A = this chain, B = another copy of it.
Amino acid sequence: MAPSDKETDAIRQIRHHPAELDSIDRKILGALAEDASRSYAELSKMVNLSAPAVHDRVKRLKRDGVIKGTVAILDGCKLGRTLLTFLLVDTSSYSATRKLLTFAERPEVEELHTVAGDGCVLIKVRAANTESLEDFLMEIQSLEGVRSVRSYIALSTFLERGPSPD
């Protein structure tokens, strides 16, 4: 685990551009993005640094906002939310868009993005059943300024993860 002096020197020379993510940072980020319960001992083996050195780096990455936090990943189905749907809402006014943004408070709403186009908002919704999804849709459709709502119900999810450092 402890590299020879020659390797240590090489690592240090490569490393020193401040504020830039090097390949070791990215490796650490990739490992934590996949499983944040890894110990520093484990990470240190993965990147050939000591545990406190890895700890220092993670501290920096958190300080700099590259790591925003850690969260538990929950199974939507086991929570009773079996219907994943993407809504593309076309609005005719800024005030409608703003009303849509208030849906961020709803437990079934997972993502809310304004997207390029004439007043479009994309909403990722995970509902318990078709009935509650329909209620949700109707609520959105009855907002003044909502021109159309296209919904795409997910049949299978093959991948769902956050940004990758690679």
Contacts and interface: CB of A to CB of B under 8 A. Distances in A.
B116 A153 contact: yes
Interface stretch (A10-18, A46-54, A67-75, A141-149): A67-75
A154 B122 contact: yes
Contacts of A111: 157, 159-161
Interface string A107-127: 111111111110010100010
Contact of A110 (B69, B120, B161, B166): B161
Interface in A1-34: 21, 29, 32-34
Contacts of A36: 36, 69-72
Nearest to A150: B88
Interface residues of A, number: 59
A56 B88 CA distance: 41
Contacts of A78: 64-66
A146 to B, nearest CB: 17
22 contacts: A21-B79, A21-B80, A33-B74, A35-B69, A36-B69, A66-B75, A66-B79, A70-B71, A70-B72, A76-B162, A104-B159, A108-B164, A110-B161, A110-B162, A110-B163, A110-B164, A111-B161, A113-B155, A113-B157, A116-B152, A116-B153, A126-B164
